[in-house]
Amino acid sequence: MLTYRASLDVSRDLTQRIARLLSIHRSLIGTRRHRRVLGCFDQAVLLLRFMRQRTAVADLARDNGISLSTAYRYLHEALDVVAAEAPRLDEVVVQAAQDDFEHLLLDGTLIATDRVHDVGAGPDRWYSGKHKRHGGNIQVVCDPDGRPLWVSPVEPGRTHDLAAARRHVLPALYPTAARGLPVLADKGYTGAGAGIRVPVRRTRRGQILDRSTRGWNSYVNSTRAFVEHGIAHLKIRWRALSRISLCPWRISAIMATALVLSSWENRY
């Protein structure tokens, strides 16, 4: 067997912070000392290898000398513990208003998956016709600079962005959006309601928009481009988001974990 040394490009402080959370969690559920195969620090490294390098769970089990079922259990436990640190949307909106943000940014993204949770007689809920692949729809709220502040629970990939936003995002955004904290989004959110600013659509083929409308569209599109940068950062930094091999409903915990880890790394 060939062996080699490897490194993980995350800080030790980040790993220790996760380990402290896991230690608190073990105390809360009554885990006795020395009853786990892996300590809290090793479990934190297991999580970071999955998130940063998209390491297969079978490889995590082999490298740590544990069974495959134990590796899955440790991974899901760590995901849930870190994801629980993600802020609620109402907290994000209140803090944004206190910080005098000019606006918030909203966009949806598809997190690809190679497993389908439920297959019935009807249409495949996890297949996105827009992206031509299976995945889960996640709504992301960012600050004006494109830093992700909140991510929604996952919806099957077949769900339209506006439908997902109405279910998880818009009710919390409406009060402050109507009082001076608008939300910029793309044309897919047309008709979202008061305070949700989107580019103006052409009403018919060949229509030429007037200068002021074109200027508005240019402003919205250029300003909301930062949300795409924020989503791209999450996907590039945490490679587990490139394609999920777990149950697609676990995308919620994985995306929330990526949000928390990025906020801790960048201290925002």
Predicted pLDDT at 214: 86
Note whether residue 22 is domain-resident: yes
User: Predicted confidence band at 33 (pLDDT cuts at 50, 70, 90)?
Assistant: confident
Predicted pLDDT at 208: 82
What is the number of domains present in the chain?
A: 2
CA 204 to chain centre: 36
Are 220 and 45 spatial neighbours (Cβ–Cβ below 8 Å)? Answer: no
| φ, ψ of residue 78 in degrees (nearest 5) | -65, -40
Query: Are 79 and 94 contained in the same domain?
Result: no
Note whether residue 102 is domain-resident: yes
Tens-place pLDDT, residues 45-59: 999 999 999 999 999
SS (H, E, C) 218-251: HHHHHHHHHHHHHHHHHHHHCHHHHCECCCHHHH
Give CA–CA dist 56/89, Å, rounded.
32
Note whether residue 259 is domain-resident: no
Average pLDDT score over residue span 260-266: 95
Query: Are 140 and 241 contained in the same domain?
Result: yes
Query: Are 189 and 230 contained in the same domain?
Result: yes
Tens-place pLDDT, residues 64-102: 999 999 999 999 999 999 999 999 999 999 999 999 999
Query: Are 147 and 32 contained in the same domain?
Result: no
pTM of structure: 0.92
Note whether residue 127 is domain-resident: yes
Structural domain harbouring 26: 12-83
Rg over alpha carbons for the chain, rounded to the nearest Å, is 21
Average pLDDT score over residue span 148-170: 95
